[in-house]
Amino acid sequence: MSCSKPLTVVVVDDSLTTRALIAAALKRDPRVKVVGTAGTPFEARDLIVRLNPDVLTLDYEMPSMNGLQFLEKIMRLRPMPVVMVSGRLSSHQGLVEQALRMGAAEWYSKMALGSGEEPFAGLGDAIVRAATTKNHPSVSIGESLGARVMAATKTGTVVGIGASTGGVEALTDVLEHFPTDCPATVIVQHMPKQFSESFARRLDRIVKPDVRLAEEGDVLKPGVVYVASGGERHLRVRCSARPGEYVCQLVTAPPVNGHRPSVDELFYSLAATVGKNAVGVILTGMECDGAQGLLAMRHAGACTIGQDRASSVIYGMPRAAYELGAVDTQLPLSAIGPAILNLCERRSLETYP
């Protein structure tokens, strides 16, 4: 998003120190300008009326009224782009999901810092992304996520998910949030070949999208989830002869990171072909497969999500990706499905008139 003048921001947080840190971080970002700070919802209400900011950053934990309660009032009385800022996403399992359903445009974890990053690095990016919702008032709070994601499926958005130990149930949890018309989704779950087909059939029975094993040349379509078969070949995504269309490619090659199919192989291919129109997700699993590939996706402009420690059966793959700087946002498992849909919707708002 390009702006002729900075976006005006009001920062709401009960901690004076945190308000100062946020203001200092945003002062370094020429795209935004903090025009006011508030320690309570009541102070924030007065600032919103008086200053009419473009975006509000809103802490979850505040005295007298928590952030979600205030968010509900904002969206009912004066809808505007809101970035929820919280340091407790991991312990509040449903926080992100609730915030998205209530109308929050973005979320940002106070703890989501890579090695060497300054406090609140990336918050300016979240604010700029959130501002895109201001020009789309037709997306109402009560509208279904399935309907809101329809436009995203038309833009070529592709979701890539990698998982290992604990991933069978984690993937089920994520996909149960997906509507029938979800964005095209490709999955690598480490498992022996003999279990892949039954896994895909089980998912197909219990979730709304069509779930199938990926075959060579399958065209990626909205509403379909493609699962890599274990054991023999890697799953990659490549461009087809038609502009904006992607297909599955099954590649016979040595194992990568000890695995075939490898999450890294999938993620590298998404970075190269889909780029910024992709969403990458790394779930529970041992060791580090997927970390480098997810970093490549992030460098290509894709949004990336990692499962947090508290909800992971094994915090190996997500940890490796997070420590490498490959993860935009760490989230509890219950929040990842809604977050994927929200990110795909946001992609549609950025690319669709």
Looking at the annotation, which residues are catalytic?
A: 164, 190, 289
Neighbours of 271 (CB within 10 A): 24
Q: For residues 348 and 152, is the Cβ–Cβ distance under 8 A?
A: yes
* 3-state SS track over the chain: CCCCCCEEEEEECCCHHHHHHHHHHHHCCCCEEEEEEECCHHHHHHHHHHHCCCEEEEECCCCCCCHHHHHHHHHHHCCCCEEEEECCCCCCCCHHHHHHHHCCCEEEECCCCCCCCCCCCCHHHHHHHHHHHHHCCCCCCCCCHHHHHHHHHCCCCEEEEEECCCHHHHHHHHHCCCCCCCCEEEEEECCCHHHHHHHHHHHHHHCCCEEEECCCCCECCCCEEEECCCCCCEEEEEECCCCCCEEEEEECCCCECCECCCHHHHHHHHHHHCHHHEEEEECCECCCCCHHHHHHHHHCCCEEEEECCCCCCCECHHHHHHHHCCCCEEECHHHHHHHHHHHHHHHHHHHCC
Residue carrying structure tokens 């934990």: 61
Q: For residues 89 and 327, is the Cβ–Cβ distance under 8 A?
A: no
CA distance 25 to 68: 24
Neighbours of 26 (CB within 10 A): 21
Phi, psi of 16 (to 5 degrees): -60, -40
Q: For residues 352 and 135, is the Cβ–Cβ distance under 8 A?
A: no
